[in-house]
Structure formats: structure tokens, C-alpha cells
Amino acid sequence: MHISIILPAKNESISLQNLLPRLVDAFSDRAEIIIVNDGSEDDTLEICRNFDIKVISHPYPKGNGAAIKSGARAATGELLVFMDADGQHRPEDIDMLINTLEEGYDMVVGARNFRSHTSVPRYIANMFYNFMSSWMTGYRILDLTSGFRVIKSNIFKRYLYLLPNGFSYPTTITMAILRNGYSLKYVPINLDKRLGNNSHVKPVRDGIRFLLIIFRIGTLYSPLKLFFPISLLFFLLGMINYIYTYLSDGRFTNMSALLLVTSVLIFLIGLLSEQLTALMYSEKMTGPKDD
């Protein structure tokens, strides 16, 4: 199969000096290499021009997800390989992902281990994301936010309209794959030390953004599975409050009414979201599946 290797890059000139020669030597004869320069202010573009690769440049930074989408639109391969341009992902692992996919999977993701995370808080956050998404989908997800993955091009391009421009594109495509019954496989990988600039992830700004990933998981896969426990919690609180006030004061209080009404509203919101999610993933929206 023809392969397209896509790397979003923003101010990654130092790491690309080491990474691009390895990629070109290993894959120039059997894959197209696409660098998406996301408004870099360093020598990223100049370094890329020294190699026989395809370069796409954004006039200003649009985000990691936007760069992924630009690369996917320009790709001609039957398989799309996504990896980071910071030097952490090893080109030598690409064949392992592809070989695993050819066993009958639609997407294969490189799962990082504890030593591969830059900090303990980030590792704990990713573990929570993995737990939450595994509970929502019923499938054991080992690394929800990994950016190193290979996927069939026709499937990935079907869900381009769903992908955000920020860092949470891996979450979105993973939920879309599982929601529609495609096959997913995680394989363990090790990361090399990051070269060049520090991570573009900002602790406060992206901490809030990553927290929203949890809600994104629910709304992308099965909203009612997320909303129903919250609705049930408010219902139980309302009933407990009603029983207490009835036994102590012999009356039905406004607080009990508020909790019970809130329970019903949350359930209805979840039910409506479930229907909207079904429409979002319908064949009419995504196009017919290939035979």
C-alpha cells in the first residue's frame, strides 16, 4: 500500500535536522513524507526545503489538529501515518504499526509507557482519560492522546469534519473509530528525548482544554452514558432531601423540587445528545462505507 507520513511542525527546526534524514533514508522510496509547517517562526521551513518531501505551510499558527487536517487533505497514500515532529517518535516503529494494521485493523496507535511521559501529573491525567474513555466505549484504551498512529486513509478522511483544530484530535478520531465499529489496536512504544523547544502544551491553558476532553469523550461516543449517572445522582439527592424534610417538617421543599427537576432536565439533555450523536455518525453525514 502507498503510505503518507504526516508530521505537524511548529518551530521544530532543531529536531527536524535529526528526524528528517532518518525518515527520508527509510521511507523515501515507498512513502510520501508531508511536513505541515504551522506558522513556524524559526528555520523549520528552510530545513524542510533541503529534502525531497512535500511541505505545506500555514500563514499563521492554526493548531495541531488543523495541521493534521491539512496534511490529510494533501496526502495521496492509502495509509496515513501521523507522528510528532519533536523527535520523540521513532521512524523505526512505523513499520511495526503498519504490520500490525495489516493483521486486520483499521487503526493502530502507539501507546506510551510511564517513562515516556514528561511529568507525573501528565501521566496521571492521561491515565484518567484512558480510564474514562475505556468505561465509555467498553474497549480498553491504553493511550487516548497519543499522536503516533497509522490509519486507513478512506476512514480518516471520512471524519475530517469532526476533528478540532487543537490538540484533542487523537481523542476525536479514536471515539469516531470505536463508535462506528472499526477495529483499533494499541501497541507499546518507547519515546526518545524531545529535541529543541519545550512542549507547546501550556499547563494552565491546556490543562483546562484537556479537562474538556472528558466531556468530549462522552458527547462523541455515548452522551447518555455520561449524563445518566449525573441525572441519577440529582434524583437520589432530591429523594433523600424530600424524605428528610417530609419526616422532619411534613412538607415538600423547593430544594427537593429543584433537585428532581434538574435530574429530569439532565436526563433529557443526555437523551437529545444521544440522538444528535447518532445523526452525526450516520451514513448520510459520513458517506457510504466501502465494501
First to last CA, the chain: 18
Tell which of 195, 221, 247 closes a domain.
221
Please indicate, yes or no, whether residues 217 and 245 belong to a single structural domain of this protein: no
Please indicate, yes or no, whether residues 214 and 245 belong to a single structural domain of this protein: no
Residue 268 lies in a domain: yes
- Grid coordinates belonging to 69: 487536517
What is the predicted pLDDT for the residue at 291?
43
Element (H, E) at 277: helix 254-280
What is the predicted pLDDT for the residue at 119?
62
Please indicate, yes or no, whether residues 211 and 245 belong to a single structural domain of this protein: no
Please indicate, yes or no, whether residues 22 and 154 belong to a single structural domain of this protein: yes
Expressed as residue numbers, the domain containing 147 is 3-221
Please indicate, yes or no, whether residues 195 and 240 belong to a single structural domain of this protein: no
Between CA 202 and CA 147 the distance in angstroms is 17
Element (H, E) at 109: strand 107-112
Structurally, the chain folds into a number of domains equal to: 2
Residue 291 lies in a domain: no
pTM for the whole thing?
Answer: 0.80
What is the predicted pLDDT for the residue at 269?
92
**β-bridge mates for residue 70, sequence order:** none
Alpha-carbon dihedral 46, 49, 53, 56, rounded to 10 degrees: 60
What is each CA distance from 162 to 56, 64, 86, 167, 227, in whole angstroms? 21, 14, 25, 13, 21
Please indicate, yes or no, whether residues 164 and 274 belong to a single structural domain of this protein: no
108 in Cβ contact with 183 (< 8 Å): no
Residue ranges in the chain whose pLDDT is less than 70 = 1, 114-119, 196-207, 209-211, 213-214, 281-291
